[in-house]
Amino acid sequence: MAQVFDTDGSVATAVCVGRDVTERKAAEEAMRTDELEKVTILNSLSEHVLYQDAEMRILWANRAAGESVGLTPDELVGRHCYEIWHQRSEPCAGCPVRKTHETGQTQEGEMTTPDGRVWFIRSDPVRDADGNIVGAVETTLEITERKRAENALQESEERLDSMLQSIGDHISMMDRDLNIIWANKTAMKIFGNNIIGKKCYEVYHRRKEPCEPHPCLTLRTFQDGRVHEHDTQVMGQNGEMRYFHCTANVALKDNEGKPAAVIEISRDITQCKLTEEALRKSAEQLRETKDYLDNIIESSADAIVVVDMDGTVRSWNKAAEDYMGYAADEVIGSSNRKFFADPEEPERIMEMVLRDGMLKNYRTAVLNNDRKPVQISLSASLLKDSEGVPIGTVRVSRDITKEVELEARIKEERDNLNLIFDSMVDGIYIVSKDYEIEFMNKVLIGEFGDRVGTICYKAFHNREEPCPLCKNQEVMNGETVHWEWNSGRRNRTYDLIETPLKNIDGTISKLTIFRDITERKRAEEKLLRVSRDREEIFQALGNAVIIIDPEFNILDANRPVMAATGMSAKELTGRKCYEIAHRTTEPPENCPAKKLMASKDYKPVENDMEALGGIFLVSCTPVIEDGDLVKIIHTMADITERKRAEEKLEKKIEELRRFNEMTVERELKMVELKKEINSLLRGVGKEPRYRILEEIDTGTSE
C-alpha cells in the first residue's frame, strides 16, 4: 500500500496493490508436509540413517541412530560417528563413509562396535550442483541376531563334526533301498573310496541281493524303527575277511515320522582294537550348508511399506517386491489384509502401534504372490501429519523364513546327534571347564545313573578334587588327547578320547568317549607273554635260523646269524637272504628255499650248502596260511668240521690205496726175481736160495 499527497502535503488518497499467494502457501504447506512425512518415515526405520559432511561430522540423524546410543538425534549433530559408536578419535579402518569420500562411489561393509553388536553399513555420496561431493548418507542396519544365527549353525555343525571325528568305528548310512548315502573314512579305507551310491550288501558282502536271513538288521530297523544288532562277516576291498559287531538305528526321519535313513555302526572284533579315523561330513554337505547360509545373507534386505489408518497400502518399495512377488503398482491402493496369513493380524498390529507408539521385531506370517507363507520380522511406527494427527503407519519388515528354517534345522541337527550318541555302545559324556557334567548318553547313564549337573570327579571317582591324571586343562587349551585309564575300583581298563567342543556362546567343553578295553588288554598281555617266550626260544637256538618271505626277504634272524654276519637283526631285515649268505645276486641252483617254492605241495626241503664261509645243512620249512605260503623258516646247521673230517678221511683212504697198490706190485716183482735166481742155481747144480710161498704150498720147492 502507498500514500498519495496533494499540493499542500496532506494525504489525498492511498493506493493498495494485492497479490494472490494462495498457491505458494499451499506449496509451502505441501513441502512441509512432504518433509515431515519423509522425516517420519526415516525416523520409523530400524536402520540408522546419518547425513555427514565432507569432514565426516553428523549434520542429521534419524531416531533409530540416536536411540542405539541413548541420545536424541539433535545430540548427535556436530559429532563424529566413530567417536560415538566406536569410542575412537579417528575414522575406523575400512570405514565405508571414508571410502565414499575417497572414491566418490557407494560403499558397503560390516563392522562390529565395542559393545559386540554387528552392523551392515552402506554409504552413498551426496553431490552439489557442480557434481562435487559435499557429504555422505550412511545407512546402518544391526545384523547381530542374523550373525548369531549363522554362527550357531556353523558351531552346531562343527560340534557335530568334532564329535563324529572322535568315533573310530566303521559307520555308514543307508536309504530305504539299501543304497549307501554316507560313509565315514574308516569305512572307505576298508571297502574303497567309491562305495557311496552302491548297495550295502554288494560292498560289504559281495552279494547281488540283500543278506540272509531276510530281512537284514537294516531293513528291520526301517520296518519297526528299533535298534537291531548282530555279528557278521564282511569282505574288504583287498579280499580280506573281517568280523564286525553291527548296530543299526534310525538316523533320519521323514515328515511323517517314518525312518528315512538308517545308520549302521560296526565295531571290528577281528583285531579287538579301535581305529582312530575321524568322522566328518562329506564335502558336498559342507558346500550345501555354505550355500544355504549365503542365501540367508543375500535375502536379508528390509522392505518398507506405508499403510494409512484404513489399512490401505500407500507405499511399497523394491525389497517388498522382491520377497512378496508383487510390483508396487499392483498393491498401492489396495487393502493390506490380503497379505497376511491370519486376516485378523493387521488390526492387531495397528492396535499395538497405536497403544505403544511403535512395534519392534514382531514375528508374523504373510502370503506372497504365489499364496505361499513367508515368515517376517516387522517393526512399525506411527506416521503423523503436521498437526500430530496419526495418518498411518510405516512398516519395516524383513524375510526371516530362512532364519526360522535355520532354527528348525539346528534343532533337528541336535536331535539327530543325540539319536546317534544314544545308539552307540561306547560311553559318552561332556563336561564344562568347571568339571560340571553337561551330557551323558544312555550307556553311561545305565552304568553310573543320570549325573548331569554334578561334578565329574565326584560322580565317576568319588573324589573331592580333580583327578591327578585329568586332561581337562589340555583339552580346554585346544588339544585332543587319546589315553588309557585303569580303574582300580572297578578293575577295568578304558580307552579314552577327549576332544574340545566349541559351544554356541563361545565357551569350550570337553567331549569324552569311553571304551572298555579290559578284555582286549588282557588278551594283548597274554599274547605279549607268548611272543616273548617264542622270541627267547628263537634266540636261544644253537643253529642259525632266519625267517624269509616268498621273495627271499629276511623278516627275522636269531643270534647265531647275527654273530656269523656281524650284522644286527635290524640291519638284516629286508635284505635278500642269498645276498647275505652267499654273496650272490640271485638264489643258488641248489637253494632249498627255491626248491620248496617251486614245488606244489610246499613240503620241507633239506640239503648241504656252502654259506657264510662254511658248509651248512640247510632245512627249509614252510609256513602256510589259508593255503598260501607266507613265510619260510630257514634253519642252518654248521657241518663244516664234519665235512672237512670226511674229506680228510677220504684223502687218507686214497693214499693208503695207492701205497698198497705200489707195495703189492713190488712184492710180485721180487717173487719173479727170486724164482729166476732159484732157477739159475738149479741149473748150475746148486740148492735154491729162496723159498717161494706158492712152491711150498704146492710141494714143488726144495
27 pLDDT more than 70: no
Does 168-277 match 424-521 in CATH topology? yes
Q: What is the pLDDT of residue 54?
A: 81
Cα 539 from Cα 537, distance rounded (Å):
5
331 pLDDT more than 60: yes
DSSP category for residue 317: -
CATH of domain 541-638: 3.30.450.20
The set of residues, in sequence order, having a beta carbon less than 8 Å from that of 300 and lying 6+ positions away, is: 120, 143, 146, 398, 399
- Give the whole-number percent of the chain exceeding pLDDT 70: 82
Contact of 394 with 44, CB cutoff 8 Å:
yes
CATH of domain 424-521: 3.30.450.20
51 pLDDT more than 70: yes
Q: What is the pLDDT of residue 301?
A: 60
Q: Are strands 11-15 and 373-384 parallel, antiparallel or unpaired?
A: unpaired
Q: What is the mean pLDDT of the chain?
A: 79
Cα 314 from Cα 306, distance rounded (Å):
5
Contact of 326 with 305, CB cutoff 8 Å:
no
Segment of 55-59, 417-421, 681-685 carrying the highest mean pLDDT: 55-59
Give pLDDT tens digits for 29-45: 655 655 566 567 667 66
User: Quick check: pTM over 0.75?
Assistant: no
Q: What is the pLDDT of residue 175?
A: 92
Instruction: For residues 500-523, give the mean pLDDT.
Output: 81
Instruction: For residues 158-164, give the mean pLDDT.
Output: 60
Q: What is the pLDDT of residue 21?
A: 57
Q: What are phi and psi of 584, to 5 degrees?
A: -120, 170
Contact of 626 with 241, CB cutoff 8 Å:
no
- Residue 155 vs residue 15, higher pLDDT: 155
Q: What is the pLDDT of residue 411?
A: 63
Instruction: For residues 598-609, give the mean pLDDT.
Output: 84
Q: What is the pLDDT of residue 22?
A: 64
End-to-end CA distance of the chain: 211
Q: What is the pLDDT of residue 140?
A: 85
Q: What is the pLDDT of residue 437?
A: 92
Give pLDDT tens digits for 550-576: 899 998 888 888 888 888 888 989 998
Cis before 91? omega within 30: no
Cα 86 from Cα 3, distance rounded (Å):
66
Phi-psi category of 455—alpha, beta or left, where left has phi over 0 and alpha has psi -120 to 50? beta
The set of residues, in sequence order, having a beta carbon less than 8 Å from that of 212 and lying 6+ positions away, is: none
Give pLDDT tens digits for 344-379: 888 998 999 888 888 888 888 888 888 888 888 888
- Give the whole-number percent of the chain exceeding pLDDT 90: 5
Q: What is the pLDDT of residue 277?
A: 34
Angle between helices 401-422 and 283-298 (to 10 degrees): 150
pLDDT band at 273 (very low <50, low <70, confident <90, very high): very low
Instruction: For residues 229-246, give the mean pLDDT.
Output: 81
- Residue 301 vs residue 258, higher pLDDT: 258
Q: What is the pLDDT of residue 481?
A: 92
The CA-based angle 68-71-75, given to 5 degrees, is: 130
3-class SS of residue 649 = helix
CATH fourth-level superfamily of 168-277: PAS domain (3.30.450.20)
Q: What is the pLDDT of residue 226?
A: 92
Instruction: For residues 301-316, give the mean pLDDT.
Output: 85
Instruction: For residues 396-416, give the mean pLDDT.
Output: 76
Q: What is the pLDDT of residue 23?
A: 61
Helix (H) or strand (E) holding 589: none
**Could you tell me the CA-to-CA distances from 185 to 283, 343, 423 in Å, in that order?**
12, 53, 20
Lowest-pLDDT range of 30-34, 263-267, 410-414, 697-701: 697-701
Q: What is the pLDDT of residue 479?
A: 92
Q: What is the pLDDT of residue 179?
A: 92
User: What does the block give as the cell for 188?
Assistant: 572307505
How many Cβ atoms sit within 10 Å of the Cβ of residue 120?
Answer: 20
Q: What are phi and psi of 74, to 5 degrees?
A: -65, -30
433 pLDDT more than 80: yes
Give pLDDT tens digits for 83-123: 888 888 888 888 888 888 888 889 888 888 887 788 888 88
Secondary structure, 3-state, 411-463: HHHHHHHHHHHHCCCCEEEEECCCCEEEEECHHHHHHHCCCCCCEHHHHHHCC
Q: Which residues pair with 2 in a beta bridge?
A: 15
Among candidate residues 540, 418, 474, 447, the one with its CA nearest the CA of residue 163? 418
Kindly write down the DSSP assignment for every residue of 6-65, as one continuous string: -TTS-EEEEE------HHHHHHHHHHHHHHHHHHHHHHH-SSEEEEEETT-BEEEE-HHH
Q: What is the pLDDT of residue 435?
A: 93
Q: What is the pLDDT of residue 454?
A: 93
235 pLDDT more than 60: yes
Cα 698 from Cα 702, distance rounded (Å):
11
694 pLDDT more than 70: no
Lowest-pLDDT range of 83-92, 187-196, 295-304, 311-320: 295-304
Q: What is the pLDDT of residue 25?
A: 62
Q: What is the pLDDT of residue 400?
A: 83
Q: What is the pLDDT of residue 278?
A: 33
pLDDT band at 455 (very low <50, low <70, confident <90, very high): very high
Domain limits, the chain: 45-129, 168-277, 424-521, 541-638, 654-698
430 pLDDT more than 70: yes
Segment of 143-152, 401-410, 460-469, 637-646 carrying the highest mean pLDDT: 460-469
User: What does the block give as the cell for 84?
Assistant: 560415538
Q: What is the pLDDT of residue 505?
A: 60
User: What does the block give as the cell for 611?
Assistant: 654259506
Lowest-pLDDT range of 11-25, 48-62, 410-424: 11-25
Inter-residue long-range contacts of 376-381, CB under 8 Å, 24+ positions, other chains counted: 376/303, 376/400, 378/349, 379/44, 379/46, 380/44, 380/349, 380/353, 381/40, 381/43, 381/44, 381/353, 381/357
pLDDT band at 322 (very low <50, low <70, confident <90, very high): confident
- Choosing among 1.10.3720.10, 3.30.530.20, 3.40.50.2020, 3.30.450.20, the CATH entry for 45-129 is 3.30.450.20
Contact of 301 with 398, CB cutoff 8 Å:
yes
pLDDT band at 1 (very low <50, low <70, confident <90, very high): low
